[in-house]
Homo-oligomer: A and B are copies of this chain.
């Protein structure tokens, strides 16, 4: 937890600026930006990719991005697994969340400042961010052509937002009026989420701009950076220091650079990622905030999970622009910590409610798991950036794990209630209401909405050699290769319930290029064929690279054997000792009490039987009417008569244990839990090795 002295900090800034500059010079498309005065107009840069063509991240000019995004609008997700979720998202979630935000005064906060509302300030310090995240969800939905009815509503809301911008560029409804004097104090930067709100404003503005070309919100956000932030805050004795407090500003500044071409945003992000030792914080605060010291001194994930994930996103974005190897080394160390020691099987992260934080290595409690929806989303966002930086499939595996499980669980099937925490075991006796339509800290609901709305943008990437396929679902890509050749890819599949995918690859005319097909890490094997002819070399956990001359209508078939698997966790995970989980394809399963025979309703008395015949002991049945259509697993498990509600808390372990009898156990996908009546739930089920 050392922080450098002012001299070394200044040296760092100079050095990183030089490194960044070198990178840009090496990339002629970016050279225009160097030296452009920061006081220039806040509008977007016309030499960049047109707004319509920019993806979830606009990586086309990022020198260290091995993969480049395709725009959300280039991919149409058709009737299948994700179409239901996305339809619910635009038909129900986004509109009802607008109602909730209005009802809870989140727009009145803006209106009050221009005399249009007499309501008092509502909600916590970061309430503006919920409006922005909701606008980002709208932006992504509009990119897919969804939600035209909300377009005008949102445009009107944007007008109300920008109306409160002060001539200085400052915009934040909490630190206004009586609280204006608290702006950007060290304590406010630490806890007040001013830059967090600005970051979400920028992300919302960028998504909306990429949907509509409308720069109203983007100009306002950029103005706050250009006129309020950069002239007054940053390195150097004439400026005041910055701490992110809750990381978010870093990645948004770099995306602002990617949208406008103005390099000062990367420099500012670099400065914030490095921290400014003119601010002193207690070590515990440095852990919690996951900022305030050089990002490159971090060696493990700790502190507030969402903060840590967003910090990693910003740091990876910075790497994508600069190639700074110190960052890459830190990022890969942290990713190792994530995937080897800190991630739930659901892709959720954040073990502890206390501080909404990561725990120690292997500390992954189940019923007490925090697993905030926002943290799982942060995990996906970070891995999307790591995937772009590396082209390595292991990052896409984490995206898939989080998306189908720990993120997907966060929104009810009807799209109107949300999980803040996503535990892996639950007892309704706790009285906890796990899904709610509204939280006073309502970060997760619009975060889930923006994620589902942006989902088409995660299916594919391009590089100069061809196309990467990351996700499988019924869909049509209508885009082009980086050399301009138009390309259409149609996927037909029943994934994730079935492991067969048929893909039609249609360049506008025969062309030599590479198709990189993700072979999921969970697959035991994979068969791939082109036009019916087997292609060798498919390895689970890697991209299968098929370089050939592709002609319109070429078909690729992929077959991933889809079987229930029994998963054990590393013995260092204390709570999972003697327990196993069940996964089938990317879907993690759980048991809910209401699905079991009464005899198996006490989950401390049931066991998954693990032996060489176990895997054949699963019956697989797709139930279209259950939970909007899920594949249910039945397992011939064991039930013990512990009488555990009456048994002593501690007893002689050498006494003969109870006898087991066979009993069918029913498992449903974890993401669909808590969509019926409150009942016990468990992912990690006791195991019996017979």
Contact = CB atoms under 8 A, between A and B. Distances in A.
A666 B611 CA distance: 33
Contact of A651 (B368, B567, B645): B567
Nearest to A522: B650
A341 interface: yes
A569 interface: yes
A10 B376 CA distance: 53
B367 A653 contact: no
A192 interface: no
A566 B686 contact: no
Contacts of A8: none
A570 interface: yes
A366 interface: yes
A648 B577 contact: no
Given A430-B360, A654-B612, A649 B575 contact: no
Contact of A567 (B341, B345, B353, B650): B650
A605 interface: yes
Interface in A336-351: 339-341, 343, 345
Contacts of A437: none
A341 B425 contact: no
Contacts of A442: none
A348 to B, nearest CB: 13
Interface in A299-340: 339-340
Interface string A603-624: 0110000111011000000000
A368 B363 CA distance: 9
A223 B162 CA distance: 63
A647 B341 CA distance: 10
A577 B686 contact: yes
Contact of A568 (B339, B341, B570, B652): B652
Interface string A191-207: 00000000000000000
A572 interface: yes
A578 B577 contact: yes
A509 interface: no
Given A343-B649, A565-B652, A644-B572, A577 B577 contact: yes
A600 to B, nearest CB: 14
Given A367-B360, A653-B687, A644 B571 contact: yes
A425 B648 contact: no
B361 A367 contact: no
A512 interface: no
Nearest to A300: B429
A579 interface: yes
A603 to B, nearest CB: 9
B360 A429 contact: yes
10 contacts: A341-B649, A354-B354, A363-B367, A365-B365, A567-B650, A568-B650, A571-B605, A571-B644, A572-B604, A574-B575
